[in-house]
Amino acid sequence: MYLKYAARHALVVLAAVPAAALAQSEPCARPTSVHASLGLSQSDRADAAINNTQYQGRGPQLSVGAAANVRSLCVEAFATGGAHYLRPLGGGFGSERVLDGRANLNVLKPVAASADNRATLAIGLGAQGILAGTKHSFADGQNTSRYRLGVGSIGPAFDASFRMLGGRFFASGSVPMLSIVDHPYVAASSLAPEGLRVATWSSLRGGSGQFGYDRPLSRYLTGMLAYQVSGLRYDDARPVRALSQMLTFGFRLTRPTERR
């Protein structure tokens, strides 16, 4: 009887310790805010539905996002998109123009914070959507075909921050565990069949994330510098390999009561 009471009391104490620490901490790694940034992106792609050649190129990238604290949960939305002009590597032929975008929605729960809120960590669930349209030009420069790739996925996500040097270092990421993939094996047209398939981690591996630093510029405005990366490896009858890397600079507008 005593052992049962002691075990129950220990569980209550263990559960109360992180709850008490979080009650004194700021609720989320990111304050309630909106932000926008612009940068340069490099894209590397190989889509066997087109051919087996790897293409690479750069282009401008625009990103927007928002964060809010809702009933002790951290809700973060992020979207980015750009245009890339790709050339084949290794002496291939043709060229590609890619318009692609990615959107993330994360719902996170704070799980750890230092006593002075200098460091924070939140983990939870993330949903992600990827859409890419490719216009492939053949070597003659006259004939073109259009292809598409769409991925919707859910999986674990995290967000962490650490304050130092008068600002804040931050890192966030998500990994797809279950996905729905739209990837026709032929060029997109009115006759192209739907390519919807379900993919798990065994056939679609990848992730997206960012690491950066921000520093307050005024009471409401914060400057941000970030490195963003997103990649996937889809093993199917027509496999896809894609990697995007971005360096962006932007600004965040923050509620003054939550500025950090």
Express each pLDDT in 123-148 by its tens digit. 999 999 999 988 888 766 677 888 88
Distances (CA, A) of 40 to 83, 108, 246: 10, 29, 6
Q: Give residue 158's identity as a one-letter amino acid code.
A: F
- pLDDT for 93 equals 76
3-state secondary structure of 118: coil
Q: Which residue has the higher pLDDT, 244 or 142?
A: 244
170-187 per-position pLDDT tens digit: 999 999 999 999 888 777
| Mean pLDDT, residues 221-230 | 93
Looking at beta carbons, which pairs linking 186-190 to residues 24 or more positions away fall under 8 Å?
A: 186/49, 187/145, 187/146, 187/147, 188/133, 188/146, 188/147, 188/148, 189/146
pLDDT in tens, 65-119: 999 888 888 999 999 999 889 888 876 677 888 889 999 999 999 988 787 778 8
pLDDT at 191: 54
Question: Band of the pLDDT at 24, cuts 50, 70, 90?
Answer: very low
Q: What is the pLDDT of residue 140?
A: 65
Mean pLDDT over 183-204 rounds to 76
Average pLDDT over the chain, rounded to an integer = 82
| Domains present along the chain, CATH in parentheses | 27-258 (2.40.128.90)
Q: How high is the pLDDT of residue 194? A: 63
pLDDT class for 18, splitting at 50, 70, 90? very low
Handedness of CA 14, 16, 25, 212 (dihedral sign): positive
Task: Specify the pTM.
Answer: 0.77
State the pLDDT at residue 256: 61
* CA 222 distance to own-chain centroid: 21
> Does residue 6 carry a pLDDT above 80?
no
Residue 34 pLDDT level (bands cut at 50, 70, 90): very high
Confidence of residue 203 (pLDDT cuts 50, 70, 90): very high
Task: Please give the pLDDT value at position 131.
Answer: 92
Q: Does position 198 have pLDDT exceeding 80, yes or no? A: yes
Both tokens of residue 31? 């304050």
The pLDDT value given to residue 145: 85
Who's near 150: CB < 8 A, 6+ residues apart?
129, 130, 131, 132, 181, 182, 183
Check pLDDT > 90 for residue 192. Answer: no
